[in-house]
Amino acid sequence: MSSSIQDIARTVKAEFARMTGSGCSFADARLYDEDSSEYLMLYDGNLEANTARLERGIGVRVLKAGAWGFAATANLAAIPQCFDRALANSVAAAKLLGFPRDMGKGKASKGSYHSPVKDDPFEVPLADKLDFLKRADAALVAPHVAHRITQANFQRRKVFYWNTEGTEVDRWQLNTFGMLMVMAPDKEGRNQRRSHELCGDGCGTRGFEWLADPKCFGANAESIKNELAQLLAAENLPPKRRDVILLPGMGFLQVHETIGHALELDRILGYELSFAGGSHVRPEMIGKLKYGSKKLNARAGIVENSPGTFGFDDEGTPQRDYLLIDKGILVNVLSSRTDLGEANAKAGRTVVTDSGTAARSCAFYRPPIDRMTNINIDPGNDGTLEDIVKATKDGVIVDVPVSWSIGSNREHFHFGCEIAWEVIDGKRTKIFKNATYHGHTLEFWGALDKVGSKETWCLRQVPNCGKGEPNQIMELGHGIPVMRFANVETGEKE
């Protein structure tokens, strides 16, 4: 810890004493000593984004009389005033108090987390990164490709966390994202696209070396160009009910939208109603609700190489790995410490016992809220994609979202996909464009009838999950196998 951080820590601890003396039951502080980001984007070979950014500041929370107050400032000379603001906010909130907020019993944590990285992208010279992207972009050039996008973005955060229970943890987190996309007008003159995002098996390191690994990124250029060429000559997916096979590139968003968000405890308790929405899940359903078929095992997992792995959450709680849905039954939810008592009271029994270590904030100027971590589907035993295709009489394989629209309680959904492969009598036949499917969450997950084995499991990154007020963009991961769902409404009836 540098001397300036030690000075800030001393100031924060003095403020903790002052807040506790003012009647606060809990207080915490998150110092973002460094929050760096870099975004590079080539559009048709032109460097349209060449942006670096640095944020530095502190966010503090105080809990007094069961009410939270939060304040943030970039002025690190004004930390006492920041605590004053948070305290005033807490006092004001206590005037209209519902279920008193309570952190429960806490245990002091000490420790550090460091993302697994070989080559820190912020230490790689810009010219080298651009040279890499230029070569990746050149691989997308083809006569049938009208437009192409090659992009990378990097984040590096050094966060120090302290609370009044004696917790002192720090995180050095690094994220690397990359995307390749090709676009062209189809035979009707309407744009089609095919893309690939940096992904992997959840192991290894997540620095610049990951982006530079051809099998995870650059080598996908050929396949997306080839598939775009086929899309340009393809027909729209004819509407009908059929089986739907989700590749991990599509399945991750299905999980994200209809399991992940639906199981955030703050949504379940109604704290997101005015913006993101609520949930079809109620606290009393935990432990009882049949969320899906027996093939469905979903977890908040710890994956070595993922933006959803962070060591300690933004309440300083060590991240843990636990099941959310066990053989189709809802057994847990995504939570932080603060809402557990309310959930149990509303359920009329104990439905949650420990923090789901899902308290996360996206910046020093945003308070922690219940967020996804790595929301994964455990691999099944139905073999490879080809095994599942062979077992399908009338279906369609879909990949990569183009659009997503979800009901406000996550009870129904509509997805558009970049590409679809028809499957008839166990064989892929042809490619369709403008593929869509829609359904109702519990019915859909209840129709899960094939789950691919470990070799189909893939870690997809989400760099842009939006939630909360004030709004927050969060990074997370989903480890997903190939999944098949029976008898789903697909395509659009004109």
Partner 1 sequence: MLESRIRDLLCTARDEAKKQGINAEFSFHREHSSLIRLGNSAIALSTFEDLTRLDISVFDGRKTGDYGLTADIVSLDQLRSALKKAHDNAQAALPKDYEPIFGVVEKTIDDAGGYDPALENLSPEAKGDLCAKVVKTMKPKGNYDFSGSWSSGSTEMYLTTTANSNEAYRKLTDGRLVLVLKEQDKKWELSVEQPGRAAKDFSADAAIREFEAMLPVYEKNPGFRAQLGHQRVMFGPQSISQLMALAIWSGFGGRAWEEKRAFTSENKPGDMLLSDLVTIGDDPTNANVYRMPFDYKGIARKAFPIVEKGVFKALMYDSATAAKYGKKPTGHDVGSGDFVFAPGSGKPGIAAGLATAGDALYIPYLHYIGLPDPARGMFTGSSRFNARQVKGGEFVAPMCSTRVTDTIPNVLSHVIAVSSKSEFFDVSATYGRRTPEAVSVPEYIICDNVRINDVADGF
Q: What residues numbered 36-55 form the site for partner 1, per CB under 8 A?
A: 42, 45-55
Q: Which residues pair with 226 in a beta bridge?
A: none
- Contacting range for partner 1; rule: CB under 8 A; set: 122-130, 170-178, 223-231, 324-332: 122-130
Nearest by Cα to 462 from 222, 257, 228: 257
- 5, 146, 323, 424: residue in contact with partner 1 (rule CB under 8 A): 146
- 72 near partner 1 (CB under 8 A): yes
- Please answer whether residues 395 and 428 qualify as being in contact, where contact means their C-beta atoms are separated by less than 8 angstroms: no
Q: Does 153 bind partner 1 (CB under 8 A)?
A: no
Nearer to partner 1, 108 or 141 (CB): 141
Cβ count within 10 A of residue 249: 21
Q: How far is the CB of 287 from partner 1 (least distance, A)?
A: 21
β-bridge partners, 357: none
Stretch of 1-9, 123-131, 303-311, 347-355 lying at the interface with partner 1 (CB under 8 A): 123-131
Q: Which of residues 453-482 bind partner 1 (CB under 8 A)?
A: 466, 469-473
Which of residues 425 and 494 has its CB atom nearest to partner 1 in the complex? 494
Shortest CA distance to 300 belongs to which of 322, 315, 326?
A: 322
Using an 8 Å Cβ cutoff, are 171 and 112 in contact? yes
CA atoms within 13 A on the CB side of 120: 11
Pairing of strands 359-360, 46-64: unpaired
What gap in Å lies between CA 334 and CA 251, rounded to an integer?
19
Q: Which is nearer to partner 1, 54 or 108 (CB)?
A: 54
Specify the residue, 75 or 429, whose C-beta has the smaller distance to partner 1: 75
User: Distance between CA atoms of 94 and 109, rounded to whole angstroms?
Assistant: 29
Smallest gap from residue 364 Cβ to partner 1 (A): 9
Shortest spacing between CB 407 and partner 1, in angstroms: 5
Residue 195 to residues 24, 217, 249, 473, Cα–Cα distance (Å): 51, 11, 10, 22
Minimal distance, residue 485 CB to partner 1, in Å:
16
Q: Judged by CB, which is closer to partner 1: 193, or 299? A: 193
Residue span 345-364 as binding mask against partner 1, x where in contact by CB under 8 A, dash where not: --------------------
Per-residue x/- track, 273-312, partner 1 (CB under 8 A): xxx-xx-x--------------------------------
- Binding residue for partner 1 (CB under 8 A) from 269, 396, 476, 488? 269
Look at phi and psi of residue 465 and say left if phi exceeds 0, alpha if psi is from -120 to 50, else beta: beta
Query: In sequence order, what are the residues at sequence separation of 6 or more whose Cβ sits closer than 8 angstroms to the Cβ of residue 216?
Result: 198, 199, 200, 210
Nearer to partner 1, 124 or 451 (CB): 124
Site for partner 1 in 432-451 (CB under 8 A): 434, 436, 438, 440
> How far is Cα 201 from Cα 483, in angstroms, rounded to an integer?
17
CA 460 to mean position of chain CA atoms: 9
What the block records as the tokens of 100 is 């008193």
Segment 84-103, which members bind partner 1 (CB under 8 A)?
Answer: 85-86, 88-90, 92-99, 101
Tell me: does residue 143 bind partner 1 (CB under 8 A): no
Q: Please give the residues from 377 up to 416 whose contact with partner 1 meets the rule CB under 8 A.
A: 402-409, 411-412, 414-416
Q: How many residues bind partner 1 (CB under 8 A)?
A: 92
Q: What are the structure tokens assigned to 103, written together?
A: 């952190």
Alpha carbon distances (Å) from 132 to 213, 214, 267, 382 = 11, 11, 42, 39
- Binding to partner 1 (CB under 8 A) within 201-260 occurs at none
Least distance from partner 1 to the Cβ atom of residue 272, Å: 8
Cβ closer to partner 1: 71 or 216?
71
Shortest Å distance, C-beta 94 to partner 1:
8
CB-based contact 323:332 (threshold 8 Å): yes
Among 23, 80, 104, 185, indicate the residue that binds partner 1 (CB under 8 A).
Answer: 185
In the complex, least distance from residue 297 CB atom to partner 1, rounded to whole angstroms: 26
We find the least distance from the C-beta atom of residue 268 to partner 1, in angstroms, to be 11
C-beta of 13 vs 414, nearer to partner 1: 414
What is the rounded distance in angstroms from the CA atom of residue 376 to the CA atom of residue 478?
A: 5
Tokens standing for residue 378: 């455990």
Q: Kindly state the smallest distance separating residue 214's Cβ from partner 1, in Å.
A: 21
Name the residue with tokens 């609370």. Answer: 163
DSSP, collapsed to helix, strand or coil, labels residue 483 as strand
Instruction: Reply yes or no: is the peptide bond before residue 470 cis, omega within 30 of 0.
Output: yes
Region at 95 (left for phi over 0; alpha for psi -120 to 50; beta for the rest): alpha
Contacts of 108 (CB under 8 A, 6+ apart): 165, 166, 167, 168
Q: Minimal distance in Å, beta carbon 469 to partner 1?
A: 5
Q: Which stretch binds partner 1 (CB under 8 A): 80-88, 164-172, 204-212, 422-430?
A: 80-88
> From the CA atom positions of the chain, what is the Rg in Å?
24
- Determine which residue in the list 178, 207, 367, 463 makes contact with partner 1, applying CB under 8 A: 367
